Every structure is written in C-alpha cells, then in structure tokens.
Amino acid sequence: MLTVYGRRNSSNCAKVFWLLEEIGRPFRLVPMGRGSGSENQEELVQLTPFGKVPVVRDGDFVTWESNSILRFLASGAPRGPLWPEDAVGRARIDRWMDWASLSLTPPLTRLRKARSAGAEGDLAPVIESFKQLDGQLARSAYLAADVLTLSDIAAAPAVHRWGLLAEAGENALPDLPHLDAYRSRLLAYEPYRRHISSALS
C-alpha cells in the first residue's frame, strides 16, 4: 500500500491527501514533520534530501516535492480531466501548477511568516498575484479549465489562505468576484473541505 509521510496541517501534504481521496487510492499515513508527534528528522532525511514533507513511498520508489507527487499519483490513476493523457492537456494544467508554486504562493508565505514574527509584511505582491488569479478565473470556472484539474489542488492552500485574510477583515483587499465564486465552488467539494479548509490555518 502507498505510504505518505507527513502531517495533516501541512499545506503541501494537504494537496496530496485531497488528490488521494479524489482518485480513491488507499494509503497509510506515517506522521512526520514539525509538530506531528514524530520529531524524527533523521528518518525523514533518509527519505528525502531536504527533510521536508510530504514524502511518499510506492513499493520501492520513494519521492518528494508535492506537485511532483501529485503528477506521479495522478499518472497512476485512471485517465480523466484531473490529469489527462495527452501532452497538450497536461501542459495546460502543469503551467498553472508551476505558476501556483512560483508566483501565487510565495508572496503569501512571506506575508504569513512576517506576520507571525510580529512584522507588518508586504501585502501588495499578494494582492497582485491574486488579481492575476481572479483574471484567469474570469476566463474559466477552474484554474486551467471548466473542470477541476490538478492545478486547482496545487493552488488550493493559497486560495484557502487568501480567504482567511479576507474573513479576518484584512484592510485594502480588492474585490475579486471571480475568485470569490471559485472559492465557493471549491467549498462544494467535500475533500477540499476535509483536507484544505478544515485542516489548514
């Protein structure tokens, strides 16, 4: 059986948990990572060069990097819109997965870290990247298409955390109606609620 090393309150692990539920793949969770109850970082470093979660083991194969794990697991599942067979279909999704990791999430992560250290943090680049997201969501109901794909799962923790900012009454957030509608659409997915919105602060 597939083994996932990680923790439920990690954004990068949460994406993997959502996908596994979406494709109906059973797995065993080995608690690992900060605050998971298992502080055995040495065991983690034997599995991955960077000592970060998530890590998965499928038979003899061990791999890491959450988006790469998403692609690996989806490639082993029956074909569907989530991760289609053809190169063009995959590239349409993959570019948004990269964008979510490289452009959408980092300004938000920097803001969250600054605030947890008591600083104000820089909200402007967060707003900039979420405006770009809103622009894309004016074109399609989900990030890469009119159906749920791997890119929505990859972006979900950041989308949820934008919602937390908005709900906390953050000043100066622009009105992003397409993003609001998208968040409501995601909230209709039980696996999103279970693994993302209820699990991540």
Ligand X SMILES: N[C@@H](CCC(=O)N[C@@H](CS)C(=O)NCC(=O)O)C(=O)O
For ligand X, the binding residues (CB under 6 A) are 10-12, 33-34, 52-54, 65-66
Q: Which lies closer to ligand X via its Cβ, residue 4 or residue 143?
A: 4
Q: Which lies closer to ligand X via its Cβ, residue 176 or residue 197?
A: 197
**Which value, in Å, is the radius of gyration of the alpha carbons in the chain?**
17
Q: Which lies closer to ligand X via its Cβ, residue 66 or residue 129?
A: 66
- Measured at CB, which residue is nearest to ligand X? 33
Q: Which lies closer to ligand X via its Cβ, residue 10 or residue 149?
A: 10
Residue 99 beta carbon to ligand X: minimum distance, rounded to whole angstroms = 14
Residue 36 beta carbon to ligand X: minimum distance, rounded to whole angstroms = 7
What is the number of alpha carbons within 13 Å of residue 6 lying toward its C-beta? 27
Residue 172 beta carbon to ligand X: minimum distance, rounded to whole angstroms = 27
